[in-house]
Amino acid sequence: MQNIIAYQGYQGAYSHLACKNAYPEMEAVACESFLDAMLMVEEEKAKLAMIPLENSTAGRVEEIYRLIPKMSLYVIGEHFEPVRHCLLGLKESKIDDLKYVLSHPQALAQCQNHINELGLKAVAKLDTAGSAKEIKEKNDKSCAAIASSLAADIYDLKILKDNFEDIIGNVTRFFVLSKEQIIPEYDRNETYVTSVIFEVRDIPAALYKALGGFATNGINLKKLESYSLSRGLPVSHFHIDIYGHTEEKSMQLALEELSFFAQKIKILGVYKKFKSH
């Protein structure tokens, strides 16, 4: 298997930047969709996939919650990547030349105040880095893109304004997916996260009872998400991220209690809590 980490999007996308920052020794390969990136790992064409799970401004990436249960992949880590938007233009462009700004709708929304201040017309596109690629190809000084500094390097563009977002501190949380389940050896000096998916049984107060074991065993839940795997009638599927390691007795007791009130339980992964540098 090649030393490849797959991601969704064009070269220069924030997922690409996350790959370079988290795994600089690996070759980052762009894919058209999240499914394509995950399939590369499942088919052993890549070792890992860097998949966005949620953003502090835009919220969760709902598609990921539907895809992960259908794949034979495991979470081996998490990565938090700061989103720092840049206003990019051609090398010879000046801000006074600009009339249009291209980017993903979320990026446009996150920079709306600055866009209005410059009097630019926002044009929605499918991808931030794809927008940078497009203005390079258009070769039009009146067009700019909102994308990463990495996109500026890749497409030979000029950063006209850095930190172009309206609110500083926007962060995306990524899952690192592998075909191999890699569980780190427990170290009491480390903080771990265990990710689990399950369905609740058809009994009264099933979710309350299913999660009760974590409370009684003194285990903190980091995250709880509900989702549906189909477009039909809603089914009670849940994703939980828990602070703890499966080698801890308290976690084992909590998971045992979960099994009394839930079904189709799958431990997606046990990994160290992300530490920013």
For residue 231, the model assigns a pLDDT of 58
Measuring CA to CA, how many Å separate 133 from each of 10, 80, 218?
Answer: 9, 25, 50
Task: Give the residue numbers annotated as catalytic, written as ranges.
Answer: 172, 174
Question: What is the fold, at CATH topology level, of the domain defined by 86-161?
Answer: D-Maltodextrin-Binding Protein; domain 2 (3.40.190)
Phi-psi region of 81 (alpha: psi -120 to 50; beta: other; left: phi over 0): beta
* Homologous superfamily, domain 192-272: ACT domain (3.30.70.260)
For residue 1, the model assigns a pLDDT of 63
Identify the band that residue 188 occupies on the pLDDT scale cut at 50, 70 and 90.
very high
**Would you kindly state where each structural domain of the chain is located, as residue ranges?**
4-82+170-178, 86-161, 192-272
Identify the band that residue 237 occupies on the pLDDT scale cut at 50, 70 and 90.
confident
The stretch 180-205 carries a mean pLDDT of 93
Identify the band that residue 116 occupies on the pLDDT scale cut at 50, 70 and 90.
very high
Give, in words, the CATH class of 4-82+170-178. Answer: alpha beta
Evaluate whether 86-161 and 192-272 have a shared fold. Answer: no
For residue 203, the model assigns a pLDDT of 81
When the pLDDT of each residue in the chain is averaged and rounded to a whole number, the result is 93
Whole-structure pTM value: 0.90
For residue 134, the model assigns a pLDDT of 97
For residue 103, the model assigns a pLDDT of 96
